[in-house]
Amino acid sequence: MGICRHSAVVFICLVVLGGCRSEKPPPPPEPRPVTVITLEETEPAETLPLTGSVEPWRQEDLGFEIGGTIEFVTLEERDIEGRTFDEDGEPITEGVVIASLDKTRFKLAVDQAKAQLNAAKAQAKAVKTELQKVLPAEHKSAEAKLRQARNVPRCN
């Protein structure tokens, strides 16, 4: 049992010596100063009028057979006059689309023309019906009235 007693004494000495330190734990860090503001919706009190000029970064002269609003332009980021090759190095030939106009105005004109065509077809159908059915019926009625008028005895 001597070994157990010896181990117990060593353990107690370690606990006592470990608990008797003179070092203090480090103090907690001081809180950082914080500024708190409440956000409010406000209108700017002052306006700042400025003047300036706007210039395009690039200008191209394009020609179209008809007028309209440009929808898109396909151009490379190079300044080449009289460009004959596209961005893939392929030659630009007649028929290759490099710009397009907004088609809305033209689609509306086509729709309007289609509506006018449909109205003209309906009117033609009505005239055809009148020629085939109404006028012959009126003609027969007029002939019957004429025959009836001829058969009426006359007083002399």
- Which pLDDT value is given to residue 47? 80
- Assess if residue 34 is contained within a domain: no
Q: Are residues 96 and 70 in the same domain?
A: yes
Q: Are residues 94 and 110 in the same domain?
A: no
Mean of all residue pLDDT scores within the chain? 78
pLDDT band at 80 (very low <50, low <70, confident <90, very high): very low
CA distances 17 to 25, 61, 101, Å, are: 17, 94, 93
pLDDT band at 79 (very low <50, low <70, confident <90, very high): very low
Q: Are residues 78 and 97 in the same domain?
A: yes
Q: Are residues 83 and 108 in the same domain?
A: no
Query: Which of 1-5, 56-60, 92-96 has maximum average pLDDT?
Result: 56-60
- Which pLDDT value is given to residue 109? 92
pLDDT (average), residues 122-129:
91
- Which pLDDT value is given to residue 30? 87
- Assess if residue 2 is contained within a domain: no
Q: Do residues 62 and 70 make contact, with C-beta atoms less than 8 angstroms apart?
A: yes
* pTM exceeds 0.75: no
- Assess if residue 45 is contained within a domain: no
